[in-house]
Amino acid sequence: MSALDNGIAILDCFSFEEHALSQARIGQITGLPKASLSRAMKTLRESGILAYDESTRLYRPSQRLFQLGQIYRIHLSFLDTVQKLLSRACETCGHTGYITVFDGYHMSVLWVARGSSPLAIASTPAARAWAFATSNGRAMLALMPGDEWLKRVPNPLPFVTPTAPQDMADLAQRIADVRATGRSMSVNNSYEGVSSQAVAVRDTDSREVIGIVISYPTNLATEALKAQIGALLDDLRADLARAVE
């Protein structure tokens, strides 16, 4: 087993029933050789992952682990709220929504709310695309302060489709438009026949930029549908702001 495996095995020993353990007890549970156990326990203690009580000679999870758990819980709570609001919007319009995050110069799909329409666009979690060539990617870029977005796009821009941004000046104008309107749009920018509208928000605690997008077939993009989806995204963002106040 690697040192990391040993550390994980040790942390797995703690539970609500046994939240403070001696090194001997941890050795019984894990079956690790004494030398390996001693090294791993020393590392976990020195790194602040485990706390040690000199009087009882017992180990317990440290405050640092509690803090990490709180960070995870808060971030999960924010994403849970976004997922619920996006699911509700997609149920209303019948089309598919996505939550996305940055992945280098790309954006990656984190979660999918599948639309009920038989013609709804479908993608899968972990799917990636150039951020600059998608409505959600541009919404995310536009949310970054000043020219920070330049760090998230390749220069020069690679060709994607004739309707995607063709150069940095084109992209800069589209980002300015998103900042002015609060919403991003795409018509066949990444894939022929696919249109979308998107907004972006920041996780209130981690400050990570998150894209929220609803996609629909371009041939169904009536003015009424575009207006409906735009209104749903505006309402979603407003509801999210109220939920995390």
Q: Where in the chain is the domain with CATH 1.10.10.10?
A: 3-61
pTM assigned to the model: 0.68
**Residue range 72-243, CATH number:** 3.30.450.40
Strand order through the sheet with 128-130: 128-130, 106-113, 96-103, 209-217, 194-202, 184-187
Average pLDDT over residues 126-139: 92
Which CATH number is 3-61's, of 1.10.1200.10, 3.20.20.480, 3.90.226.10, 1.10.10.10?
Answer: 1.10.10.10
Tokens representing 243? 């939920």
What is the band of 218 on the pLDDT scale with cuts at 50, 70, 90? very high
Torsion angles phi and psi, residue 93, rounded to 5: -95, -20
Query: Is the predicted pLDDT of residue 1 greater than 60, yes or no?
Result: no
Domain with CATH 3.30.450.40 in the chain: 72-243
Is the bond preceding residue 156 a cis peptide, omega within 30 degrees? yes
CA 168 from chain centre, in angstroms, equals 26
Checking DSSP bridges between strand 106-113 and strand 96-103, what pairing results, if any? antiparallel
